[in-house]
């Protein structure tokens, strides 16, 4: 899942980029409101973490202008207890949730997962395709009765494929959603990771759920599709 972090406190931003990356999120970071607005409007993020007191444009204006522009990406606002703004204002102005600084990292991750779940009706809490099951909140994957351990990156890739099951997704779409924007590596890395996933979720079960669509990308479908 791809996250835009709009935060001007460098040390906090660094810690969040590192921590969320370890949780399997692809995080892009910008440090002023104007840039945050532009990025959130131009790119398909799954969720935006938005500070309030920001250079160039404050978080309230960013949220309001995004909603005015018809951008409905879920927004988690970061508020300060001693701020001049009321926390309830955040929700009035278009944020979906707020978190008061200082916060615990695990709470932030739980809130992000909750936002992603309720973001749209096609985002159920637990994803199922045939007997393959992925629970983003519990971070578990199983096929039938058997648990399948995945690395954070494998998990993020499978989550993206499952959220788009039945549709072909290109390598570039996968890179955009599963790897952060500043990733400049070889797109063939996607192939490598698809290979890892097949070895874990398909091969041991005699399944071929992740198909290669030549020249187009990958498709996760039913066994008999
Ligand atoms: Ca700030």
Q: Are 105 and 12 in a shared domain?
A: yes
Instruction: Let me know if residue 161 belongs to a domain.
Output: yes
Same domain as 10, residue 111: yes
Query: Distance between terminal CA atoms of the chain?
Result: 26
Separation of alpha carbons 91 and 25, rounded Å: 24
**What pLDDT is stored for residue 82 in this prediction?**
59
- On whether both 19 and 106 belong to a single domain, the answer is yes
Given 88, 118, 148, the domain boundary residue is: 118
pLDDT of residue 158: 95
225 within some domain: no
Domain end marker among 118, 143, 171 = 118
Residues 63 and 138 in one domain: no
Between the CA of 183 and the centroid of ligand 1 the distance, in Å, is: 26
**Same domain, residue pair 104 and 61:** yes
The answer on 131 and 109 residing in a single domain is no
How far does residue 52's CA lie from ligand 1's centre (Å)? Answer: 6
**CA 53 – ligand 1 centroid, Å:** 4
Domain's final residue, options 118, 143, 170: 118
**Domain hosting residue 69, numbered range:** 2-118
What's the sign of the alpha-carbon dihedral 206, 216, 222, 162?
positive
Residue 168 has a pLDDT of 92
Residue-level pLDDT at 50 = 96
pLDDT digits (tens, 9 = 90+) for 64-89: 888 777 788 899 999 876 555 666 66
Domains of the chain: total: 2
pLDDT at 182: 56
- Using the mean position of ligand 1's atoms as its centre, give its distance from the Cα of residue 151 in Å: 33
Same domain, yes or no, for 87 and 137? no
* pLDDT for the residue 123: 41
Give the CATH number of the domain where residue 160 resides.
Answer: 1.10.10.10
**209 occurs within a structural domain:** yes
Give the Å distance between the CA of 31 and the centre of ligand 1.
9
Same domain, 113 and 69: yes
Same domain, 186 and 94: no
Q: Please list the ranges in the chain whose pLDDT falls under 70.
A: 81-93, 119-125, 137, 180-185, 223-225
Do 135 and 109 lie in one domain? The reply is: no
- How many A from CA of 93 to the centre of ligand 1? 18
Q: Rounded to the nearest whole angstrom, what is the distance from the C-alpha of residue 8 to the centroid of ligand 1? A: 5
Same domain, 46 and 109: yes
The CATH number covering residue 111 comes to: 3.40.50.2300
The phi-psi region of residue 130 (left if phi > 0; otherwise alpha if psi is between -120 and 50; otherwise beta) is left
Pairing of strands 26-30, 2-6: parallel
C-alpha 189 – ligand 1 centre gap (Å): 36
> Are both 10 and 53 inside the same structural domain?
yes
Q: What is 61-91 written as a DSSP string? A: HHHHHHHHTT----EEEEEETT-SS-HHHHH
């Amino acid at each position: 899942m791809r996250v835009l972090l709009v935060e001007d406190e460098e040390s906090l931003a660094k810690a969040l980029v590192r921590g969320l990356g370890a949780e399997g999120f692809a995080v892009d970071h910008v440090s002023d409101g104007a840039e945050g607005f532009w990025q959130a409007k131009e790119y398909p993020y799954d969720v935006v973490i938005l500070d309030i007191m920001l250079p160039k444009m404050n978080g309230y204006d960013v949220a309001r202008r995004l909603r005015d522009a018809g951008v409905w990406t879920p927004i988690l606002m970061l508020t300060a207890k001693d701020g001049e703004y009321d926390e309830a204002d955040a929700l009035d102005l278009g944020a979906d949730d707020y978190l008061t600084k200082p916060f615990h990292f695990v709470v932030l991750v739980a809130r992000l997962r909750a936002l992603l779940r309720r973001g749209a009706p096609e985002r159920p809490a637990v994803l199922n395709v045939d007997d393959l099951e992925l629970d983003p909140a519990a971070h578990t994957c199983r096929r039938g009765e058997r648990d399948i351990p995945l690395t954070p990156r494998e998990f993020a890739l499978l989550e993206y494929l499952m959220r788009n099951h039945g549709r072909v997704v290109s390598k570039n779409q996968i890179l955009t959603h599963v790897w952060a924007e500043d990733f400049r590596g070889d797109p063939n890395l996607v192939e490598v990771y698809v290979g890892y996933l097949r070895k874990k979720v398909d091969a041991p079960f005699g399944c071929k759920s992740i198909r290669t669509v030549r020249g187009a990308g990958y498709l996760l479908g039913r066994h008999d599709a």
